[in-house]
Amino acid sequence: MMIPLVYLGPHRPGILSLSFHDRRKDEGGLQTAQLHAKRKNQPKKTVLLGLVVAQDGSSVACRNIKNHHVHAENAIVCTICNRTEPNANKVLECMQCHQCHHFSCKKIVGNAVRKWKEKEYFCSATCKEIQVGRTHPDSPTVMSEVRKVLDAVHNMQEENAKTRNYLEKAINELEKSQEYLCSKFDKMNGDISKLSSNQRVLKKDVDYVHEENVSLKVAVEDLEIEVDRLKRSTIANNAIILGIPALQNEQLGDILNQICCALDHNLPGGAVLELSRLRDPRKEQKYPPIRVVFADVKYKEQLFEKKKSLGTLLTAKLGQSFHGVNTKVIIRDEMTSHGLALLREVRDVQEELKLQFVWPGRDGVVLTRKCQGAKIQKVRKRSDIRNLTQGKSTQLSSFDDTPPRPREKRPLSTSSPNASSIVEPTPKKVM
């Protein structure tokens, strides 16, 4: 005869129903059966939970669904030592799963036994939590909160997984980008090294070209000086007279004789080959210079010596034709194009260099002086102008020349190539 089996064990979450299968009875009267369950996530099939054993003639409580034998309902079995205990006062029974434990197995002795009997006993914290959840009125709320916490934890785990994947991808991209940048940096470093090398080579070439340019400039200046010397040799007998106003029906020979008379100088016959005014066709001039071509350079030098010994000569001293004209008569060499260009360049930097006097000297040299009584410096070529701008002194000309007085600067472009564009020399004697 098969006795009915009743499962009195703990409640299993997620189980819809329990049932017994394959019930058997052996010759000793022991009854066995398989305990199956239907779960919420698998409602169409049963799952084996364990094997239960019962004694014939009494109802059975299935207290353990795994390894422990389940005995008859009235039997007391200690689940620690697995021994049957006929005296209920010697065991503690769990309020939730109804498992029994000897006081001795739990090492409870003396007065502690009475205290343990007076309070509710739970074999584990799980049983206590289940019992509290069943009896406490707020247990559904607690379980709901627990489920919310679990869901939040689950969501956080998913977010962490997503974040981890994103970070891994980002790190991979950063590594690729870093590798790319490193390769580009290495390439740029190589290009910079090449540029540095090319720059050094180019600097050497530039230095070489600069040296060649300096040498070429020196050679060109030497050639200019030589060409200027040859040109001056062709006009060595020429002189320029400045400060004589042009008159109607004037006779230049008479004007020259009046100048010689004022200088107490007699020119022999045939000493002058040509006399002419140098007029600018672009505009009308009141004082066009007079060019005198002597037959020999000695006649020019004699006239220069007389003018130098006299000092300042006023135009009014030349006769009644020039009465009331107080301009100064200046006699100098005819200048070449190179000399005029040098004079123009020096006048361009005169204000910058604070030069008080700038005037043409003999032999194509331009003379400068910072102030009255200062040292006279000569400019024969363009390198001398650079030396002036750099504060280097040029050598004084071997000849003596009278320094000019300061007056308002007039550009060379306002007169003909040999017109007066310089200041008048300092007078030594007024006649």
Q: What is the pLDDT of residue 23?
A: 64
Q: What is the pLDDT of residue 400?
A: 40
Q: What is the pLDDT of residue 423?
A: 37
Domains and CATH numbers, the chain: 5-135 (no CATH), 238-414 (3.30.70.1820)
Q: What is the pLDDT of residue 95?
A: 82
pTM to 2 decimals?
A: 0.46
Q: What is the pLDDT of residue 410?
A: 43
Could you read off the pLDDT tens digit of each residue along the chain, which spans 431 residues? 555 555 555 555 555 566 666 666 655 555 666 666 665 555 555 655 555 555 444 444 444 444 333 333 446 889 889 888 888 888 888 888 888 899 889 888 888 888 888 888 888 888 877 777 666 555 566 667 778 888 899 999 999 999 999 999 999 999 999 999 999 999 999 999 999 999 999 999 999 999 999 899 889 888 988 998 899 899 989 999 999 998 888 888 989 999 999 888 888 888 999 999 988 888 888 889 999 999 999 999 999 998 888 888 898 888 888 888 888 999 999 989 888 899 999 999 988 888 989 988 888 889 999 888 889 988 888 888 888 888 765 544 333 444 444 444 444 333 344 443 333 334 333 33
Residue 135: CB atoms within 10 A of its CB come to 9
Is 52 in contact with 70 (CB distance < 8 Å)? yes
